[in-house]
């Protein structure tokens, strides 16, 4: 377990000292979401109607930003080989990478959501559900992203390719995340959508590290 926390701590330290990915992801999230009023017009009713969807789509895209670097830097300097040789199973190492990816990109996006929701005139009563959905859903994005990043490791134009691979797989997360926020407005409380998001999380938690570790082993051969 200590090597698990060591990977997470190392990644977080790198992220903070290099001051790149986390700040970039959240800036992209805020900026991209605030482009929508310019695109579709500033009418409050219109913005309130699309706010949850805009926030979810931009959060999805923000999670893609740092993906191609998830394993790439470690692969380039040989750290990945050492991680593979360590007694820690590669699957758990991938899980540690997912956790640090989420802490660096998912968590800041989650923290910035109330601000963006306010500016997009989201109905305040649906904000708790939106936040709860993002809290469960963004880790799923990191997990799917780890599989995509591992599969495209060493590929030409890996950054574009990883979005092509991962985005179709993330459609269910988007559907139920927005569904939870929208349901908070109407009769339903959105608990069912949150439960399905939780099921997606429980499904991705063991399977995505398995697939990613299999892909990493091929890359390291």
Positions that interact with other proteins (CB under 8 A): 147, 151-152, 154-158, 161, 164-165, 167-169, 171-172, 175-176, 179, 196, 200, 203, 207, 211, 214-215, 218-219
Contacts of 50 (CB under 8 A, 6+ apart): 36, 40, 120
Q: Determine the Cα angle at 66 with ends 65 and 72, to 5°.
A: 130
Q: Shortest distance, CB of residue 217 to other proteins, whole angstroms? A: 9
Q: Shortest distance, CB of residue 218 to other proteins, whole angstroms? A: 4
Q: Residue 152's Cα: distance from chain center in Å? A: 17
Smaller CB distance to other proteins: residue 108 or 179?
A: 179
34: which 2 tokens?
A: 């605030």
Number of Cβ atoms within 10 Å of the Cβ of 71:
26
Smaller CB distance to other proteins: residue 23 or 199?
A: 199
Q: Shortest distance, CB of residue 159 to other proteins, whole angstroms? A: 11
Smaller CB distance to other proteins: residue 23 or 195?
A: 195
| 187 torsion bin: left (phi>0), alpha (psi -120 to 50), beta (else) | alpha
Smaller CB distance to other proteins: residue 172 or 198?
A: 172
Q: Shortest distance, CB of residue 51 to other proteins, whole angstroms? A: 16
Smaller CB distance to other proteins: residue 70 or 151?
A: 151
* 24 touches 66 (CB < 8 A): yes
| 89 torsion bin: left (phi>0), alpha (psi -120 to 50), beta (else) | beta
């Amino acid at each position: 377990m200590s090597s698990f926390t060591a990977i997470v701590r190392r990644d977080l330290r790198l992220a903070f000292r290099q001051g790149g990915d986390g700040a970039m992801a959240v800036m992209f999230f805020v900026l991209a979401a605030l482009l929508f009023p310019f695109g579709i017009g500033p009418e409050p009713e219109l913005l309130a109607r699309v706010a949850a969807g805009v926030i979810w789509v931009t959060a999805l895209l923000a999670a893609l930003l740092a993906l191609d670097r998830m394993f790439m830097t470690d692969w380039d300097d040989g750290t990945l080989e050492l991680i593979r040789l360590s007694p820690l199973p590669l699957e758990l190492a991938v899980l540690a990478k997912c956790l640090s990816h989420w802490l660096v990109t998912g968590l800041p996006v989650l923290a910035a959501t109330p601000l963006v929701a306010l500016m997009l005139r989201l109905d305040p009563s649906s904000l708790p559900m939106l936040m709860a959905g993002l809290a469960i859903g963004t880790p799923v994005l990191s997990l799917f992203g780890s599989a995509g990043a591992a599969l495209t490791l060493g590929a030409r134009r890996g950054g574009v390719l990883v979005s092509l691979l991962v985005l179709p797989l993330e459609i269910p997360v988007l559907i139920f995340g927005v569904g939870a926020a929208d349901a908070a407005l109407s009769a339903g409380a959105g608990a069912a959508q949150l439960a399905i998001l939780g099921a997606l999380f429980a499904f991705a938690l063991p399977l995505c590290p398995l697939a990613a570790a299999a892909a990493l082993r091929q890359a390291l051969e």
